Amino acid sequence: MVRENVLEVRGMMARAAQRAATDPSEIALVAVTKNVAAEKMCQAIDAGITHIGESRIQEALPKYEQVRAYACAKGIALSWHMIGHLQTNKVREAVRLFDLIHSVDSVRLARRIDKEAAAIGKVQDVLVEVKTSPEAAKYGFMPDDVAGALKEMASLDHLSIKGLMTVAPAAHDPREARPYFRTLKELLIRINELRVTHDELRVLSMGMTDDFEVAVEEGATAVRIGRGIFGDRKEA
């Protein structure tokens, strides 16, 4: 079932990319493995998944070595993504585990990541989380505050800002997410025009199981899919 789901999601991504006149091969499919056992994660790897997205450090830790070893034995290099809210007291583990942290939602957190990355001689790739909707439960910078925050982060030598991330509000109609994705894309364009960061921002992490096709149409370069690959999962 996992293999069939991966193929179906990739097909949907390809059709959405065609509608947007973009290359589907340039869009990362991040398999969200919250509440997914290591064995099922390995099935996803066999189906061609190379990007693994975890929401919680405490869940990622016991699965990381088993899944990484499985992939290595097959000659597959995995990219590990931290996609959930990251608390400052978990930063040390996050920097050691993850290739890309999607959820930098404060300058304070960015500084802590920089400090822990420096301690192990690493330059940590990150995305800045943007709150594009008015929902109180959402994390992230307000769009008008992103440029200023990026200017502060630009001085951090062990942080490499690759792009932006957002989570659209849940809705019955996926098309209702379009304005939030469009806001993020327009913000990325504006940031690049202002040349706030050392390098051009290229990554737009947006879109989940219910709305990823709309996200791809609006320029997503990474989509985060859990249920669409693994089915419904019980909360831990």
Is 161 contained in some domain?
A: yes
So what's the pLDDT on residue 171? 86
Question: Per the structure block, which two tokens stand in for 189?
Answer: 């364009």
Separation of alpha carbons 207 and 223, rounded Å: 5
Domain with 38, as residue range(s), is 2-230
Is 7 contained in some domain?
A: yes
Enter the DSSP assignment of 135: -
User: What pTM was estimated for this model as a whole?
Assistant: 0.95
Three-class secondary structure of residue 64 per DSSP: helix
Question: Per the structure block, which two tokens stand in for 178?
Answer: 């379009």
- Within the chain, strands assigned E span 28-32, 51-54, 79-82, 100-104, 124-129, 159-165, 203-205, 222-225
Is 176 contained in some domain?
A: yes
Is 73 contained in some domain?
A: yes
Distance in angstroms between the alpha carbons of the first and the last residue of the chain: 22
So what's the pLDDT on residue 234? 63
Longest CA–CA span in the chain (Å) reads: 46
Angle between helices 146-153 and 107-119 (to 10 degrees): 20
Separation of alpha carbons 20 and 33, rounded Å: 28
Total domains present in the chain: 1
Separation of alpha carbons 84 and 87, rounded Å: 9
pLDDT per 10-residue tile (average), the chain, 236 residues: 97 98 96 96 98 96 96 97 96 98 98 98 98 87 96 96 96 94 98 92 97 98 97 66
Q: Which residues pair with 54 in a beta bridge?
A: 82
Separation of alpha carbons 176 and 168, rounded Å: 9
Is 216 contained in some domain?
A: yes
CB 54 within 8 Å of CB 82? yes
Question: Per the structure block, which two tokens stand in for 229?
Answer: 């690959």
CATH code: domain of residue 99: 3.20.20.10
Is 110 contained in some domain?
A: yes
C-alpha distances in Å from residue 90, one per residue of 34, 123, 234: 17, 17, 24
So what's the pLDDT on residue 156? 97
So what's the pLDDT on residue 138? 84
So what's the pLDDT on residue 198? 85
Is 172 contained in some domain?
A: yes
So what's the pLDDT on residue 126? 98
So what's the pLDDT on residue 136? 77
Question: Per the structure block, which two tokens stand in for 184?
Answer: 């993020």
Is 51 contained in some domain?
A: yes
Query: For residue 81, with 0-12 CB atoms within 10 Å meaning exposed, 13-18 middle and 19 or more buried, which class applies?
Result: buried
Separation of alpha carbons 186 and 132, rounded Å: 11
